[in-house]
Chain A
């Protein structure tokens, strides 16, 4: 599935991924390919994106914003993003 992580200033991550674990407002949510259309607010915490192929995982500190799943695309739009 295609994942984009977007901060107000720029797109931080854009690429294919196998899994996303995001800090939603009420706890962690895991998104795997084939997830139903979904939209949730984000809380504060660590966002993990496991790139396709299963090896590298990118981690970001995020706070605020939302996460959206439509079709095969996951979009994380956060107020603050920091690569950690």
Chain B
């Protein structure tokens, strides 16, 4: 039987741990709310871009834009850039591990017939690939809770250039898709070459005949990079929201577990205390008996 004093010390320690995880849970909840708002706020822009591109897109225009150039199947010596977005911090369950696993699986899939350039965002991904000593094409850890469109542009700008000049044959992003606060599956999204968004429900032809200035081609030329940037921006925002969702869940579990442990320790402590008292009484009675005898 452990000593009561020992038990009291452990109860105190678990109690303060619970206090910390409880606080972290609350903080994550409020940050999740804000991150979620940003995900929602980014939707109108993405929707408008996709809609307009679907309106303007026609297959004959597509051939003239390098960003839409589809790769030739089975070509040797391909080069693919993989952009992995992870969080800067941990204490979020398997969130980062899932992202890294997804990226590794994708690399293994691509590796036999393509060279993979790895671009990393977030401390967790950076430190993992530093640990495995895999060469990394670029890395940055300065994008925090509030990614901006400018961050996305900085990330994807060089990649778009390399894609246009033919150095890269594809660009993919691994990020946490924010389905809900409890479901944030790691997802791979191909952002280049652009998969033309389809006008849903409409058959090919433009529904409205616009006056276009300067021309459909010029507008498309400007919008395509924006579309790619926006996809990266959304990946960044969703990953942040996903991180806080995962952290909240992890911290809630930790708080619950701490509660269970405290309960168990408290019970053991009570029993030990009781046993000690009983023993003391027995000793006193025994002593008195001996004196009387």
- A residues sitting closer than 8 Å to B (CB atoms) are 4, 6-11, 24-26, 36-41, 64-66, 68, 70, 75, 77, 79-80
Which A residues are CB-close (under 8 A) to B38? 9-10
Which A residues are CB-close (under 8 A) to B42? 8-10
Q: Is B48 in contact with A75, judged by CB distance below 8 angstroms?
A: yes
Q: In chain B between 208 and 256, which residues have their CB closer than 8 angstroms to a CB of chain A? A: 208-214, 218-219, 222-223, 226, 229-230, 233
Q: Is B209 in contact with A37, judged by CB distance below 8 angstroms?
A: yes
Which A residues are CB-close (under 8 A) to B14? none
Say what secondary structure dominates the interface of chain B. helix
> Is B148 part of the contact surface with A, judged by Cβ < 8 Å?
yes
Which B residues are CB-close (under 8 A) to A26? 213-214
Instruction: Given A39-B52, A41-B222, decide whether A6 and B45 contact each other with a Cβ distance below 8 A.
Output: yes
Residue total for B at the interface (Cβ-Cβ under 8 A): 27
The 6 A-B residue pairs with the shortest CB-CB distance in the complex, in nearest-first order = A10-B41, A8-B149, A40-B213, A39-B210, A37-B208, A37-B210
> Is B265 part of the contact surface with A, judged by Cβ < 8 Å?
no
Which A residues are CB-close (under 8 A) to B223? 66
> How many angstroms between the C-alpha atoms of A40 and B42 in the bound complex?
22
> How many angstroms between the C-alpha atoms of A25 and B233 in the bound complex?
25
Q: Is A24 in contact with B49, judged by CB distance below 8 angstroms?
A: no
Chain B, residue nearest A70 (CB): B208
Most buried by A among B41, B149, B213, B214: B213
